[in-house]
Structure formats: structure tokens, C-alpha cells
Structure 1
Amino acid sequence: MCSSGHAFDANKRGYLTLVDRSRGILGDTREILEARRRFLALGHYSPIVDLIDAALPAGAVDVVDSGCGSGYYAAELTARRPLARLLELDVSLDAVTLAVRATGAPGVVADVWRPLPVRSDRADAVLCVFAPRNADEFARVLRPGGTLVVVTPAPSHLEQLRQRGRLIGMQPDKLEHLDEALGARFVLRDRLSTAYDVPLAATEIDDLAAMGPSGHHGAHPGTEDASTTTVTVAVDVSVYQPL
């Protein structure tokens, strides 16, 4: 029971649901998450995992995975860091279901824009991959000297699919907006980047187009044939410390 008198029970799978669905908060659907799970399982985003692993301090044990999605990044990091203890957080019940299954870590269905279900000064690191960011709450749950790792798309990320209308547009000057949004609570310590091309089959492109924000806006039909299409993957991994 919380301080307001609300009671929350763990479901039969062992994780908690703290989101009031009457407020219309749903998050990613099962269809979006399954497309993401299929695509990420192919390893096309493994260089992003390499950057995240490099950005996280070697001694980071307690890690909050905020906006965990299908749990791909957490599962990959756990395989590399067997001593790490992760907490999977997402507003989507389906996402937490998949993430807990993929990682074996505890999970909580929670809204990142509300107080997070984590004690103050509890986490060594917060991981936020292509997910919303609550600067005040991230700063609260991090220990002094803790690390916030944020992964965002670079301007050329999936540009071929945007040009074809398969994806919705992307905010310009994303890094500048990110630094500004976090600047009252965090200082930028480092920024890592990667950009590479991958050949994708038509079915892979369909999953890639369906697995992100564009998936919430319905199908974006493409004109791919049976041949492969080269797509650019480009991301920035920003490393912050609390002020």
C-alpha cells in the first residue's frame, strides 16, 4: 500500500502494476513489441549495446531500465555483466511482461512521468533507451556520483525509411533539446556515437517500421520487393551525472 492508501498486488508473473488504466495510459502494444522483439533478435542493433556497455561504469550494479520495452538491451547487458541487478520499468504491461521473461529481472509497470517506484539514492545507473526522460525522478533515484545513460536517434538514423514515408518525422536538434531538458539536474560527462549501414530484407523493414513510434500511427505500407535495402543506423549515447 502506498502513502495515499492505494494497494498494489503482484500478479501471477511476479511483477507489479502501478499504472491507473482509467487515465488512458497504455504504452506500446503487443504488436509493436513483438515487431521489436523479432527485429532486435537479429542483432542489427548490437553495436548500440556495445556503446551502452561502454557508457555504463564498470562498478554499476543496481541499474534502473526506464522504458525497458521488450527487454533486449537489459538482457544483453545482463549477459555481459552477470553481477548487475536490473529493474525493468515501462508504462506498457506487455513490455514489462516481455522484459521480465527476457531478463529474469523484477519489473514494474509504471508511468515515468509520475514518481518512480524506486527509493532515493538507490541506483548506480539509470538506462533510458529511446524512451521518455523524467529528469527530476532520475536525479532522485540515482546515488551521488551515479550515471544516467540516454540513447537517442541521430539525424541520419533510418533516414532511408523516413524518405519513403515508412516512419514519422523526427525532432530536429535532438541533442540540443536533450541537454536543455536535463540541464537543470544533470551535467553531460560524455557522448558516444555510432553510424553504420545494414542490409535488410522486406520483412525486417516491416518490423523496423512497426516497432517504434510509427507503430502507434497505424501501418506505413512500403514498396520493398524481395531484394535487400540498405538502411543507416545512427545513434548517440549521452552520459550524464547528477549536479
Structure 2
Amino acid sequence: MSRILRPRGGLALSRRGLLRGGAVAAGGLALSGCDDLWRADAAKDVLTRAEDLHRWSQRALGGEALAREYSRADLSPRFRANGSRGVADAAYRRQLGEGFAGWTLRVEGLVARPLDLSLAALKDLPQRSQITRHDCVEGWSAIGQWQGPQLGGLLRLAGVSDKARYIVFHCADLYHGRPYYESIDLADAFHPQTILAWQMNGAPLEEAHGAPLRLRVERQLGYKHAKFVTRIVAVDSLQGIYGGKGGYWEDVGDYAWYAGI
């Protein structure tokens, strides 16, 4: 049964404030008179430690806190598509044309029972519906309604191992010629608002919004919400997966792995 959970009270720590603090600290290093390479490495280290501090602080101040949820009256009249707007892969184009009737989601890795689930099977699982705000790292926001099974329930169904530390999402699209992927840790994977959405604003996802399935991890910025998800893998380390930093944007060095808001 679909349900809406209301946010709990709790403190919120500003990611922007932490990054601003890190940038100020990095700027201080730049004034120290050391060589450019040392300054660059030191600044990167400061920002990395700021990311770790932010993640620790969010979890310490309310690891189970919910992102704010809204009413249908708050839905944005236009919800921009982030990231890839489409997929060129021939198999995907065929599945799209067939309404994803033969599409399956693979769940594997450190699990006791690997799964291959059709879109119909995902719709038959217990569903969660939530109206939340999508915050893009580019500076825009929009409110939309999402529905799908909770990721935590799917991982329990697969029997995720105690050895797993991360959940990796492999996607059907290429972004600037490179496979798009993302990852989150187990704390966010089992958060009640982390769902695999197949529906947006009461209708099946359109291609631009990640059809047939996208991740919604509501306490993180939009680039973490992987679209066109085809495979989910439980792993104990991110090393050896593409660039080894846990996501497309993380590998190219533009954004941090933890994007909590």
C-alpha cells in the first residue's frame, strides 16, 4: 500500500556551509607560500575531510531523519530532466518501444539470492509514494511525486550480506561517452525514503526522467539519483569499479561522493 511518511524533527547541517568552510580553509593554504602542487593537494585534502565531516555530522544529528515531504498542491508545473535525457543503446530503444515488457532489473553481488525482476514484479512489491524536492547541484530545484518499492526491502529480499558496504547502480546510458553509474552506502540504501521509482507524478517514468526505473535517494543531491537503472550490485569496496570513486561525476573529479543535503 502506498503511504506518505511525515518528516521527523531534528537538526540540519548545511552542506553548503561545510563546503564553504572547506573552501575558506583551502584558500588559507593557498596563501601559505608553498608550491602550487602542495597547495592543490592540501586543498583537495581539506575538502575531502569536509565531506567526511559532513557525512558524519548528518548521521550523528539524525541518521533516520526524513527529507521534507509536500502535498500535491506543491508539485512543480515543470520538472526539468537532469543528466542524460535519452539512451542510444539499441537494446534500450527496443525495450522502450515494447513498453519494457521484456526488461529486467538484476540484483547481484554480495547477496544470498541474486534476483532478476521484471517491471511488473517491481510494481507488485510493497510501494512507497512520496512528494519531495529534487535539488540539482546546478542550482535548480523542483517538487515531484515518486512511487516505487523501497530499496531496503529489495535488498532484504535478495539477502544482502553483512560484508556489503555499498550499493552500486549501473545504468543504461552513456554520459559524454562514459557509462553512468552511482553508489550509496548501506545507511542511505535502507533509509525509508530511498526507493526505486517507476512512476512520476502519477504516470510511468518518461525516457527523459530515467524510464523505466530510477533511484530516489531523497537526502542527497540530484546527480546521485541514478536514472535508467538496469543492475544493482552489493559490494564491499568501490575500488576497481570504473574510476573507483563511486560514481561518474566522482570519477571525473567534479563532485564529491557524498552529496547529502
**TM-score band, normalised by shorter chain:** under 0.3
